[in-house]
Structure formats: C-alpha cells, structure tokens
Structure 1
Amino acid sequence: MTVLVWIDEGTWRASVDAARAHVRAGDAITLLHVTGDDVAEAAHGAFVGLLGRGHAERDPGDRVAALSASAAAALLDAAAERLGRPAERLRAHGRVEREVVRAAEDADLLICARDGDRRPGPRSLGPATRFVVDHASCPVLLVWPGAPPGIDTPPPHPSSP
C-alpha cells in the first residue's frame, strides 16, 4: 500500500502521528508539502508594477520563493524525523488543494489533518482541506490536530426563523 501524508505547517505533527499509528511497517510512505505560489507572485507583481523597472536582481518574489523552498525542506526533514522510518519526500508548488489531489492520484491512502474550527462540523475543515476531502481519488484518513473535541462541543444549534 502507498500512503501519502500531507504535511502542512499548522497540522503536520498530527498527520505524521497518524501515519505512525495506522500505517503498516511494509507500506510505502510519501511526505508531501505544497507551497502556494500566491505570496511569491504577489511580491513579484508589486515589484514589477511599482519598483522593478530595470532591476530584476532585486525582485522580492524570487527571495520569497527561495525562503519558501527552504522552509518546506526543513518542514519535510522534521516530519521525516518524527515519522522515524524511511519515507519519500515530495515538494510541490501551485494551488495547494489541486496539487494534493494530483499527488493523491497514485496513493492508496491520504492522511491529512483538520485545519479549521476546533469543533465538529463542516467548519472544522479549511477551504483547501475541504477541497481535498471532496476530490481525492483515494480514501482519506482525516485526523484532529491534537486531542479531538469532546461530545459536549457540538456546533451551536441553528436558530429558528
């Protein structure tokens, strides 16, 4: 079985811990981190539009992209160390949710963590995670980042009109 573990800055520990707990010893694991292009593109666009005429070497978009790549590599290293077993590391960039779905096409299982409200319900998933859960072509193991909320924390009851 091939298992893809989505490594995200806010929830990676929970995803890795779920892989440690639920993935058999002989199964192949890939740790995936996706860097969104939006911040680097915004920095580049601002530079070109306002400041950058004739000075391409000072484009902050390039520096932001380099810092993002370095941070992604460090995060994948930390995740691999926490996993404590061999795993492939995969870095991608683009629209995060689409890149995760694309990477999951060849997986037998995708492990990811909730990244929204700390209460059960649809808002416990951020937009990218909701997209991934809805569109992944393989089963998804969705875990809470930390202890799951108790049964006494349901969403508020909708008001009657």
Structure 2
Amino acid sequence: MTEYGLGVGGARRVNTVRLWAGGLATAVVAALVILAGTLLAKGVLGASLLAPGESWRFGGAGMAAYAALAALGALAATGLLQLLLPNTPRPLHFFCWIVGLTVVVATVTPFTQGGPPAAAIATSLINLAAGTTILSLLSKVGSAARPGERRGGHAEPGGRPGN
C-alpha cells in the first residue's frame, strides 16, 4: 500500500512493500551476524558452541541451520510488526517489548542446556548480538513503513513525515 492514514475500520495503513523489504534485509543481516559471531567464537577465540563437534566448521550444517534460524526469526518478527502496526496503539512499543523479551529468552537459554560454561557464554553472546540486531533494525523499519508518523506515534500536521 502506498497510501497512509486510516483504512477500513479505522486501522492505520502500512507500506507493506517497505516493511517486508526491510524485513528481508534484516533477515540477511541477522544470518550474517550469526556467521560472523560463529567464526569469531570458534575460529579466532577457539570457543566451542553448544553443538556437536564438527557441525560448526565453516559451511557445516550447524552453522547454516543457526544462521537460517536467525533469518527466520527476523521474518517472524516482521510478520509480528505487520500485525501490530495497523492494529494496536503504540505498536512499536509493543513490538520492542515482545522482541526484547524474546531476545532475553534466547540469551538465557544456552545456560539451561547443561553444556560447558564457555560454550554457553559464546552461544549466549551470539544470540544476544543477533537478537539486538533484529530488534534495532526492525524497529526502524516499522517507523519507516508508517512515514506519516513521527517518533512518539503522533501524526504530523497534514500527515507529512517528520524529520
């Protein structure tokens, strides 16, 4: 949609092309954060991750699955954002709370798996980096998908985007 303002039933319209283009770009960035974090943890620092031994070598199934999971998480978050933007008051606040708490869960979960502490720390930090990347990028994408609103959720006079 390219029009902004109120739609059917008072719901705000959202530029879905801009939203999903930003969501796809975020998915790519999140996957790259996982790849870079895994290479840094395993290759440079020599830290193990919570996975079978050789599955984390570059090009291994574990690394690809981990990166794909981050990308899918970014796409799921984009879907959540599409649901929240036109239908909830203060949608970016709800989005940040939901995704932020999900990042907390992803960050803490490695410590509940019973693996070595160094592996839990490395995996936790990589999850935190990917999660905060998704949160920060998609919160900006959500703002850009509704350019008739400025920070704080109040429409600019005449429905024009704020600075």
Please give the TM-score of this superposition, normalised by the length of structure 1: 0.35
The structure in which a higher percent of residues are strand is 1
